[in-house]
Amino acid sequence: MHKQPAVKIMLRLLHMVTPLAPTMLACIFLGILGNLSAVLIMVFGSMVVASALGIQLALPFKALVGLTLAAALVRGPLGYFEQLMGHDVAFRLLSLMREKIFGALRRLAPAKLIDKRSGDIVTTIMGDVEYVEVFFAHTIAPVSIGIVVPLTVLIFAGTFWYGFSLILLVFYLCTLIPLYIARHVRATGRNYHAGFSAINTHFLDSLQGLRELIMFGRAEDRQKEIRRKGQELTDASRKLRRYEGFVMALSESCILGGTAAVLFSALYRLHLGDIGIDGVIIVTVTAASSFGPLVALSALTNDLMHTFAASERIFSLLDEKPLVIEHPGAHSRVRHNTPDINYNNVLFSYPGKDESVCRDLDIAIKPNTKTAIVGPSGSGKSTVLRLLLRFWDVDHGEIFLNGENIKEPPLSYLRSNMTMVSQDTYLFNDTIEANIKTGNPAATTEEVETASRRANIHDFIMTLPNGYQTRVGESGCRLSAGERQRIAIARALIHDAPVILLDEATSNLDTLNEGSILKTIAHEFKDKTIITVSHRPSTIVGADTIMVLDEGTIVEQGTYGELMNRNGTFRQLLKHGRADASLQ
């Protein structure tokens, strides 16, 4: 990840606030007034008490009571509107940020997100957005208030005697000491959070694997591990608590020390006759109640560290360049319903890897034909399909769809020409109808039903409690693998693309289910161009052409009969019972 300086991150976050600047400024303004009115409540309130005790003050008792009540009455609404506006800005910005993140992921997917680890990054980043809320809702306004309120108090106290300002300034600066030392506990804070999520994951892992642990007699060891991790977390937590305790003690000492220092010097000024008793009360109470915004400021540091780390991750995702760039000025074409496909001398290696996955790859696929690509595991079969969909771009050579380089048209056009059904069909946590409609959101209910009938899943759907409106549950877990694949086929049918790519589409199914789904595919997609990638010999029987891929290049091709007669690589593969068995 590209490391960015904290100032740059902060400026970028502030820049995001610009469109909502009026609301943010209003929030800061109300916050300042609110905090000043809190000081006034204390000042007038103490004067009321002093007056009640018979001390002669410049203002009469009733006026003081009135002023205290007035300050108290405005304090509530000011605090309320400050919080309301601050959070309104924050949540509007967070929703904008989530949208931007999804946009970035859309651009980057699938090339940069295809592996599982990237999936985890996505989850982390969505969690990171929550941390950014701290900056928008709890940093900008408190920092501004933490500067303006103490400054106002310093100026005000200075009107009585400049010494009060100097004394207060020293104690204010002491209150901010945690800002300087926070960096020393930063590592402890990070360790604590990392340890916290590690122990959660470990615990969940242990729970899920409890049966295995008991079966293999490893539960005791696992328990010891949990104890050790728990102990480490407690140690880190103890360090953090010690720091927090120190910060709290420091704040309290500053407030009490500052107030006492101002009180004693005020009494001394009273003794000298420089100020009256009102002055002593006003200055002391003002001093005592002016630390709030600074204490809030110094308490920010911990959260802010997480916010910056989180923002850094978010910004580096937003800045990441996609691997596949749309051709500038590309405009959509009228779809050709019988396109041919040609790979011409294609060379490709995955980014960051030296080894070529495809080399000298030449493939010619005629319209409305069935092609099966077989080869050893890792020979590049799935990659051949991904290149056609432009998940990645070829390093050399070209791929043509209907005579046109696939880099020319927009990606949306390319993907409207093809449908991929893979072994792990993703079903959204939505209704069955919505899941099928992913293939074509404009489809009518009748069209969804027709597609489901053709995919042989309609009768099953009708047995569900809410038919097509039944929710499939998270990740489609309430459906069997076969049912999920049939929904994927219904989805593909409704998408109605002329080219169908089957990437191990039936690999997760038992032989019976596979046979029946292959029959559906053969029947329902008979007028389409089909490219199948599979390690099961059963899937290649109906193919017009079988291509044998080895180390990223086609080493043999022909009809099933031709290849069986040849006694070459293909027969060798079949001998092992798997169309992707190792050739050695």
**Rounded to an integer, what distance in angstroms lies between the CA atom of residue 433 and that of residue 425?**
15
DSSP code of residue 471:
B
Please, are residues 138 and 24 in contact by the beta-carbon 8 Å criterion?
no
**114 sits near ligand ADP (criterion: CB under 6 A):** yes
Which one, 42 or 113, has the nearer CB to ligand ADP? 113
The residue within the footprint of ligand ADP, chosen from 35, 298, 301, 379 (CB under 6 A), is: 379
The residue within the footprint of ligand ADP, chosen from 253, 377, 429, 538 (CB under 6 A), is: 377
**116 sits near ligand ADP (criterion: CB under 6 A):** no
Q: Would you call 209 helix, strand, or coil by DSSP?
A: coil
- Options 11-19, 60-68, 232-240, 349-357: segment touching ligand ADP (CB under 6 A): 349-357
Strands 358-365 and 529-533: unpaired
> Least distance from C-beta 380 to ligand ADP, angstroms?
4
Which one, 383 or 557, has the nearer CB to ligand ADP? 383
**Rounded to an integer, what distance in angstroms lies between the CA atom of residue 470 and that of residue 432?**
6
Q: In which element (H, E) is residue 501 found?
A: strand 499-503
Q: Centre a 10 Å sphere on the Cβ of residue 466 and count the other Cβ atoms it contains.
A: 11
How many chain residues touch ligand ADP (CB under 6 A)? Answer: 13
As a residue count, the chain comes to 584
**378 sits near ligand ADP (criterion: CB under 6 A):** yes
Please, are residues 502 and 531 in contact by the beta-carbon 8 Å criterion?
yes
**Rounded to an integer, what distance in angstroms lies between the CA atom of residue 238 and that of residue 191?**
12
The residue within the footprint of ligand ADP, chosen from 139, 383, 507, 569 (CB under 6 A), is: 383
Which one, 302 or 507, has the nearer CB to ligand ADP? 507
> Least distance from C-beta 89 to ligand ADP, angstroms?
40
The residue within the footprint of ligand ADP, chosen from 203, 246, 268, 350 (CB under 6 A), is: 350
Please, are residues 43 and 262 in contact by the beta-carbon 8 Å criterion?
no
> Least distance from C-beta 514 to ligand ADP, angstroms?
18
Please, are residues 395 and 349 in contact by the beta-carbon 8 Å criterion?
yes
Which one, 288 or 563, has the nearer CB to ligand ADP? 563
- Options 155-163, 304-312, 350-358, 459-467: segment touching ligand ADP (CB under 6 A): 350-358
Partners of 483 in the β-ladder:
none
The residue within the footprint of ligand ADP, chosen from 150, 339, 380, 439 (CB under 6 A), is: 380
**546 sits near ligand ADP (criterion: CB under 6 A):** no
- Options 64-72, 184-192, 379-387, 420-428: segment touching ligand ADP (CB under 6 A): 379-387
Kindly compute the dihedral angle of the four CA atoms of residues 238, 239, 240, 244, in this order, to the nearest 10 degrees: 100
**529 sits near ligand ADP (criterion: CB under 6 A):** no
String of contacts with ligand ADP for each residue 292-331, x by CB under 6 A: ----------------------------------------
529-533, strands of its sheet edge to edge: 418-422, 499-503, 529-533, 370-374, 545-550, 553-558
Read off the tokens for 8.
């740059």
> Least distance from C-beta 121 to ligand ADP, angstroms?
14
**357 sits near ligand ADP (criterion: CB under 6 A):** yes
In the block, residue with structure tokens 């691997």: 323
> Least distance from C-beta 581 to ligand ADP, angstroms?
12
The long-range contacts involving 408-415, CB below 8 angstroms and separated by at least 24 positions, are 408/327, 408/330, 409/327, 409/330, 409/331, 409/332, 409/333, 410/326, 410/327, 410/330, 410/331, 410/332, 411/324, 411/326, 412/332, 413/330, 413/332, 413/333, 413/335, 414/389, 414/390, 415/389
**536 sits near ligand ADP (criterion: CB under 6 A):** no
Contacts of 131 (CB under 8 A, 6+ apart): 303, 306, 307, 309, 310, 311
Q: Would you call 436 helix, strand, or coil by DSSP?
A: helix
The residue within the footprint of ligand ADP, chosen from 75, 269, 359, 381 (CB under 6 A), is: 381
- Options 321-329, 332-340, 370-378, 425-433: segment touching ligand ADP (CB under 6 A): 370-378
Partners of 398 in the β-ladder:
344
Which one, 93 or 373, has the nearer CB to ligand ADP? 373
Q: Which of 517, 521, 567, 574 is nearest to 370 (CA)?
A: 521
> Least distance from C-beta 345 to ligand ADP, angstroms?
18
**382 sits near ligand ADP (criterion: CB under 6 A):** yes
- Options 91-99, 125-133, 270-278, 375-383: segment touching ligand ADP (CB under 6 A): 375-383
> Least distance from C-beta 546 to ligand ADP, angstroms?
15
> Least distance from C-beta 184 to ligand ADP, angstroms?
40
Which one, 287 or 365, has the nearer CB to ligand ADP? 365
Which one, 303 or 393, has the nearer CB to ligand ADP? 393
**Rounded to an integer, what distance in angstroms lies between the CA atom of residue 527 and that of residue 337?**
10
- Options 182-190, 197-205, 380-388, 569-577: segment touching ligand ADP (CB under 6 A): 380-388
Interface with ligand ADP by CB under 6 A: which residues? 114-115, 350, 353, 357, 375, 377-383
